[in-house]
């Protein structure tokens, strides 16, 4: 996935590092020379330019990206960036940082905003969820325990589609906490069936191997329970 982030401050750099760590391609744009801390996110592409200008967005190849993130510290700039990205370049997904809660009402489709969020972790999750159906996305980490909350939207080709929850042997210290189907959250029981398109939310222990969980979600139930 290719992501363009406007705003290379601490929030923008934090988002960029996490996305790069998850294998995505990132371009950082900022108009302030002092923000060009390239060594801190060396794997990203950097552009010194004003993201509120069409020529700058064109230079960043916004028309080729999957997501534009407006992460500056200026709400007005973030709205201009998302509006230009959506209307002039047809970007599939825009995520905008809200700095002042009083301005949140403006961050809607009229300004080209698909998702409005306020913290780097939430922004990262929304960016990845936008186009990452079938990929495991870390939503939140509990700082005290180190446990994680992961999300995956089950693709139609998944071998888990049509399987009962009780038939699946999840990795150790992993709990399927919720199934979201459409706009309806379901507290899963052993008799509930997992369906393609379901959004699955997992809580995992600090030592749980996320790759093992993702492999299971891609390859099927594996061992089955005695209730099968």
Quick one: pLDDT at residue 224?
A: 38
User: Across all residues in the chain, what is the average pLDDT?
Assistant: 84
Q: Which residue has the higher pLDDT, 31 or 126?
A: 31
Whole-structure pTM value = 0.58
Q: In the numeric block, which tokens belong to residue 79?
A: 């709205």
Buried b / exposed e over 203-219, threshold 16 CB at 10 Å, is bbeeebeeeebbebbbe
Strands 148-153 and 93-97: unpaired
What percentage of the chain carries pLDDT values higher than 90?
A: 47
Q: pLDDT tens digits, residue range 137-167?
A: 777 666 567 788 888 888 888 888 899 999 9
Residue 34 has pLDDT above 60, yes or no: yes
Above 60 in pLDDT, residue 59? yes
Which of the listed ranges 98-112, 197-211, 214-228 does the model predict with the highest average pLDDT?
98-112
pLDDT of 76 above 90: yes
Q: Is residue 133 within 8 Å of 153, Cβ to Cβ?
A: yes
pLDDT at 116 over 60: yes
Q: How far apart are CA 91 and CA 204, in angstroms?
A: 34
Domains defined for the chain, CATH in brackets: 2-131 (3.40.50.720), 137-219 (3.30.70.1450)
Average pLDDT over residues 65-72: 94
């Amino acid at each position: 996935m290719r992501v363009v982030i406007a705003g290379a401050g601490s929030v923008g750099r934090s988002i960029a590092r996490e996305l790069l760590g998850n294998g995505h391609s990132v371009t950082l744009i900022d108009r302030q020379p002092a923000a060009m801390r390239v060594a801190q996110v060396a794997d990203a592409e950097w552009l010194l330019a004003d993201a509120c200008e069409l020529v700058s967005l064109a230079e960043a190849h916004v028309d080729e990206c999957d997501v534009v993130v407006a992460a500056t510290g200026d709400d007005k700039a973030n709205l201009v960036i998302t509006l230009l990205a959506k209307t002039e370049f047809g970007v599939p997904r825009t995520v905008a940082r809200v700095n002042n809660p009083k301005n949140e009402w403006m961050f809607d489709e009229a300004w080209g905003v698909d998702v409005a969020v306020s913290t780097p972790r939430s922004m990262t999750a929304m960016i990845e969820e936008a186009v990452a159906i079938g990929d495991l996305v870390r939503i939140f980490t509990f700082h005290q325990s180190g446990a994680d909350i992961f999300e995956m939207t089950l693709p139609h080709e998944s071998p888990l589609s049509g399987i009962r929850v009780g038939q699946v042997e999840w990795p150790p210290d992993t709990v399927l906490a919720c199934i979201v189907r459409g706009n309806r959250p379901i507290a899963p029981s052993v008799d509930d069936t997992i369906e393609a398109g379901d959004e699955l939310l997992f809580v995992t222990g600090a030592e749980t191997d996320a790759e093992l969980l993702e492999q299971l979600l891609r390859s099927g139930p594996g061992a089955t329970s005695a209730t099968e």
